[in-house]
Homo-oligomer: A and B are copies of this chain.
């Protein structure tokens, strides 16, 4: 239910009460007001059934709890290599034990009519295989970002989805939540004049050296694949353009046990056709950065944090005043899952289809090439 819809109901409820009982309100005003404020939501409409593939921290801490906020999506199946974990989570979220799959019998999900959509929350290097197998099982697929390790894998995923006539969406949750949507709206409407420079910084100090994010085969790369992609996405969705040139500079601390296979820091510059330039950073070695600032001819606007799961803040500067802009706080995962459910129900294309993930992988491949070659990469 949208916020504006919720407000509309509240207003109508209040007006009805006032019309029916002005005299009563004089005596019981406070009580009546309290009653009017508590709205019993309508029963949900049809919800599509989701299977979650990969029960890591993202699934446990973000995706599964988010179903409580969904209007069009419910969790009905779990796919995991760890039966104990799957059983515990099935009990917590009311998933029928018969709908627990492992990676061997995953393909039999095609025979389960309760499952409409599969959410791939596996390590990056496994997205392609499990997306393709999901589509071949006749299901729609939401893949976590980055979509895959390589553009070739992305193409395979897009092709398979097309042949199966099923949806493929990449989980770019920021595109579905109010703060980033407001930034995109301001950028596109040129509310502070034309954009000139975009500054985007994303990274954190990564911990456990044994985690899959530091394994080249499973992660596809280092900070860029996991967190720098937010800087890239921001530059692209704010401009609404595709970059034509890339510069990059990379650094990995020698001897740091975390970075035997993947890069630590990779900073990159992008040129967009309209002349907008972006200066971005991405790191697994610095203390948490999560921000972007769009500098225009007349001011700037900034999100910091910009792309975290929650707690986003927006600042707008113009005419020598900096304002904080407060927006509705929504669950990003619920919004993106309901978006794909709605697309499936209404047979519409998702806002962030497989082709969008492929674009990022192509550009990220260019970023690595620019860093390695010391030359501007032209796309």
Residues of chain A touching chain B, judged by Cβ–Cβ distance below 8 Å, are 192-193, 196-197, 199, 201, 205, 245, 247-249, 251, 253, 265, 267, 269, 271, 275, 277, 279-281, 283, 285-287, 289, 295-300, 317-318, 374-376
Query: Are B281 and A199 interface neighbours, CB within 8 A?
Result: yes
Question: A295, B287: Cβ atoms under 8 Å?
Answer: yes
Q: In the docked arrangement, what's the CA distance between A375 and B373, Å? A: 9
Contact indicator B197/A199 (Cβ below 8 Å): no
Q: A267-B277, A269-B269, A375-B376 are in contact. Are A283 and B251 (CB under 8 A)?
A: no
Q: Do residues A287 and B199 form an inter-chain contact, with CB atoms below 8 A? A: no
A192 vs B296: C-alpha distance in the bound complex, in angstroms? Answer: 32
Whether A285 touches B297, Cβ cut-off 8 Å, given contacts A245-B249, A247-B247, A277-B265, is yes
Q: Which residues from chain B contact A283 at a C-beta distance below 8 Å?
A: 196-197, 295
Q: Are A247 and B245 in contact (CB under 8 A)?
A: no
Q: Once the chains bind, are A251 and B271 in contact (CB under 8 Å)?
A: yes
Q: How many identical chains are in the complex?
A: 2
B279 touches A279 (CB 8 A): yes
Looking at the assembled complex, report how far the CB atom of A319 sits from the nearest CB atom of chain B, in whole angstroms.
10
A197 and B265 contacting across the interface, CB-CB below 8 Å: yes
Q: Specify which of B192, B253, B286 is in contact with A287 (CB 8 Å cutoff).
A: B192
Q: Beyond A196-B265, A265-B197, A375-B375, is A286–B279 a contact (Cβ under 8 Å)?
A: no
Smallest CB separation, A306 vs chain B (Å): 14
Closest 5 CB pairs of A and B: A374-B376, A196-B286, A247-B247, A286-B295, A249-B269
The residue in chain B whose Cβ has the minimal distance to the Cβ of A289 is B295
Q: Which residues of B contact A374 (CB under 8 A)?
A: 245, 247, 375-376
Minimum distance in angstroms from A251 CB to a CB of chain B: 5
Quick one: given A285-B297, A286-B297, A296-B287, are A251 and B267 in contact (CB under 8 Å)?
no
| A368 → chain B closest CB, angstroms | 14
A33 to B14, CA, bound (A): 62
* Contact partner, A277, options B192, B251, B269, Cβ 8 Å: B251
Q: A205-B297, A251-B277, A269-B269 are in contact. Are A317 and B287 (CB under 8 A)?
A: yes
Once the chains bind, are A197 and B245 in contact (CB under 8 Å)?
A: no
Residues of B with C-beta under 8 A to A299: 287
Q: CA of A297 to CA of B285 in the docked complex: distance in angstroms?
A: 6
Given that A281-B199, A375-B374, A375-B375 are contacting pairs, would A287 and B300 also be in contact in the complex, using a CB cutoff of 8 Å?
Answer: yes
Q: List 30 A-B contacts (CB under 8 A).
A: A192-B287, A196-B265, A197-B201, A197-B283, A197-B289, A199-B201, A199-B281, A201-B295, A205-B297, A247-B247, A247-B249, A247-B374, A249-B269, A251-B275, A251-B277, A265-B277, A267-B279, A269-B269, A277-B281, A279-B280, A286-B296, A287-B295, A287-B296, A287-B297, A287-B298, A287-B300, A287-B318, A289-B295, A289-B300, A375-B376
